[in-house]
Amino acid sequence: MDAYARLGLTGRVALITGGGTGIGKATARLMAARGADLMLAGRRIEPLQETAAEITAESGRTVMVRSTDVTDAGAAQAMVADAVAAFGRLDILVNNAGVGRHKPLRTMPPEVWDGQVQLNLSAAFYCSQAAYPHLKAAGSAAIVNISSLAGVHGTTGVGAYSAAKAGLHQLSRVLAAEWGPKGIRVNTVAPGMIATELAKANWARTGFDAMAACQDFPLRRYGEVEELAEAVAFIASDAASYITGELLVVGGGPQLKGMIDTDDD
């Protein structure tokens, strides 16, 4: 087999939540370029439709869209059913829907905590459980859960988001253990500072110097959505066929503080 053939997704069907913008959009474009047909889901239909039209024009792949609130278990079930009805199968689920609300824990209302856990953790469980019988039927399937470095190290100001994303990693590990014998791999990809449209808008609005903040990273820069998409597409492909239950961090390298200056060129 060609060394790169296992990266291909021809004949696969992928369902991507939060698929209209940012990481979801970049992942959808790459998966379509590698041969997958897609169902894109999200709360707002307009970005989904725009992204679907762009991808179809670029790749010629079939791209369906569905407005869905994945924090509702019944809606998640209906979304998966629609994808399978449209394509006849489901091979890949990317649980990408999520966002962090900035609020210190000492003043965080219970409804904000609950909403963050629902969107960033429970929704992935609902979608995965709904997809299970169809992924099992595919014979060789993959779930990729999009977490965050906030779920690895914790980030002040987004405590609920951090806790939910940490829980998402453990959900992936348990799903991988329980569903691996059924031919379903489950992994987590944790982005660091990625320049999504939303992130760049927030940086501009708050005057945040993202590049300066990256100078503690070994690679000295933030990441692009296309770089994150490459990691997701890889972990969903047959090139990663013996990888499950793992956490792949895409964050520009380990951010360690040393005792001496090692920059001796």
Count CA atoms closer than 13 A to 34's CA, side-chain side. Answer: 24
159 lies in some domain: yes
216 lies in some domain: no
Any idea what the Cα angle at residue 121 is, between residues 20 and 18, rounded to 5°?
0
88 lies in some domain: yes
175 lies in some domain: yes
pLDDT per residue over 226-250, tens digit each?
999 999 999 999 999 999 999 999 9
pLDDT per residue over 44-71, tens digit each?
999 999 999 999 999 999 999 999 999 9
71 lies in some domain: yes
Q: Considering the entire predicted model, what is its pTM?
A: 0.93
12 lies in some domain: yes
Domain that holds residue 51: 5-193+223-249
Q: Measuring CA to CA, how many Å separate 103 from each of 25, 70, 182, 199?
A: 27, 23, 40, 17
Classified as helix, coil or strand, 186 is strand
211 lies in some domain: no
Q: How many domains does the chain have?
A: 1
Q: What is the rounded CA–CA span in Å between residue 140 and residue 225?
A: 27
Mean pLDDT, residues 70-82:
98
Q: What is the rounded CA–CA span in Å between residue 118 and residue 124?
A: 9
Nearest in space to 68 (alpha carbons), one of 56, 59, 77, 60: 77
The CATH number linked to 153 is 3.40.50.720
207 lies in some domain: no
* Residues identified as active-site: 161
Whether residue 38 contacts residue 57, with contact meaning beta carbons closer than 8 Å, is answered with no
